[in-house]
Amino acid sequence: MRKVLYVVPFLLIIGIGLAFNACDENDKPLRQMAREGSVELDADTVQVFEGLTVTFQMLNAESLPVTTFEEGENITFRLVVTNSRKENVTLPNTHVMLGENVFHIYTSQGEDIGLPWDSRVCFGLANLVTLPGQSYQFLCPAFGELEDPDKFNSASYYPGADPWGSWCVFFKTEYVRKPLPRGNYYTEFEINLNDEDSSPKDSIKNVSKGYKGVMCRKDFRIE
């Protein structure tokens, strides 16, 4: 017991020193040690809109949110919509929420690279009555070989079965997406969080119809 009592003040002194050091480091990018060296994490991922939290990230091969990737590295888009209110919120079904432009990629000069997917299978065909704290996650691998939607197994992809499960499964069915060459890019799209009654067809074409259109954009680099 005495050894513990002697050690505690020493640890407190160290802790205070680290705390002051952390304050000095607040203006520096968030960093995390990965397998090989230090990886700069993307801290600019969250938007809060009328009590709805939208998190948009690009994940590297180690599932870390970053904006710089190695050439040829696997990239996964991750979009999460969370009800941060204290009451239920009604959201559009997943097709209307995402629209037809989700995860669209452009070069930094605005050249259209296209979508990382051709077709999708989404859960939630009706409006989604969302409980406080409930989230909807959407994951989309950006590149890779063609996939066969006929092999889709709803049991294995059901989002409730896996905390990393996606509410929409994206497929590449028309042409292979080759990894992007080195350069600067961005992805930009708008999602529809409008809970007013409107035609799904109109909502997809004009995602901001109503008052809850949220723009998502992420600049990233391949090096």
Residue 20 lies in a domain: no
Nearest to 96 by CA among 118, 73, 78, 122: 122
Cα 113 from Cα 106, distance rounded (Å): 5
> Tens digit of pLDDT for each residue in 29-77?
444 444 445 678 998 899 998 889 999 999 999 999 999 999 999 999 9
Please give the helix or strand (H or E) that residue 24 lies within, else none. Answer: helix 2-24
Domain count, the chain: 1
User: Biggest alpha carbon distance in the chain?
Assistant: 72
Residue 163 lies in a domain: yes
> Tens digit of pLDDT for each residue in 192-208?
988 654 444 444 444 44
What is the extent of the structural domain holding 70?
30-222
Residue 121 lies in a domain: yes
Residue 166 lies in a domain: yes
Residue 7 lies in a domain: no
Does this model's pTM top 0.85? My answer is no
Nearest to 210 by CA among 196, 200, 190, 223: 196
CATH classification at residue 102: 2.60.40.2360
Residue 23 lies in a domain: no
Q: Read off the amino acid at residue 73.
A: E
Tell me how far the alpha carbon of residue 216 is from its chain's centroid.
10
| Best-predicted range by mean pLDDT (11-20, 27-36, 184-193) | 184-193
Residue 65 lies in a domain: yes
Residue 17 lies in a domain: no
Q: Which long-range contacts (C-beta less than 8 Å, at least 24 apart) are formed by 174-178?
A: 174/118, 174/146, 175/118, 175/146, 176/144, 176/145, 176/146, 177/116, 177/142, 177/143, 177/144, 178/143
**Token reading at 129:** 């009555």
Residue 6 has pLDDT above 50, yes or no: no
What is the layout of strands, in order, in the sheet containing 76-83? 46-49, 52-59, 76-83, 135-141
Residue 2 has pLDDT above 90, yes or no: no
Direct distance between the N- and C-terminal alpha carbons of the chain, in angstroms, rounded to an integer: 54
> Tens digit of pLDDT for each residue in 127-185?
888 999 999 999 999 998 888 877 666 545 544 444 346 888 899 999 999 999 999 99
